[in-house]
Amino acid sequence: MTRAAQRRNVLAGLLALGLLATAPAAAACRTDVLDLRGAWGEARFAVELAETPEEQARGLMHRDSLGAMAGMLFVFDPPREVSFWMK
């Protein structure tokens, strides 16, 4: 095997590992629509539901962007007071 072929195989392997490492971040939560209404008017959001402890821990990590009318709704059952840390 030539040196160039070895280098190409190593790079392909590293790329595959990188894709596997980001797979959990790309795994989407269940989605729904959230409609809010008030004296100010109405708004409709496309939300991802973070229902499991794993989904809640991952939150919006590793996201490069989020749509203007999109978000994540953290569902805690039973309802309780929680704290969030965001960067």
Q: Which domain holds residue 52?
A: 3-74
0.85 cut: is pTM over it? no
- Residue 48 belongs to some domain of the structure: yes
Q: What is the DSSP string of 65-86?
A: ---TTEEEEE--SS--------
- Residue 83 belongs to some domain of the structure: no
- Residue 65 belongs to some domain of the structure: yes
- Residue 35 belongs to some domain of the structure: yes
- Residue 9 belongs to some domain of the structure: yes
Number of domains in the chain: 1
Say how far apart CA 79 and CA 74 lie, in whole Å.
10
- Residue 80 belongs to some domain of the structure: no
- Residue 12 belongs to some domain of the structure: yes
Please report, in tens digits, the pLDDT of each residue of the chain (87 residues total): 788 777 776 556 655 545 444 445 445 799 999 999 999 999 999 999 999 999 999 999 988 999 999 999 999 999 999 999 887
User: In Å, how far are 16, 65, 76 from 6, measured between CA atoms?
Assistant: 15, 36, 50
The predicted structure's pLDDT at residue 41: 96
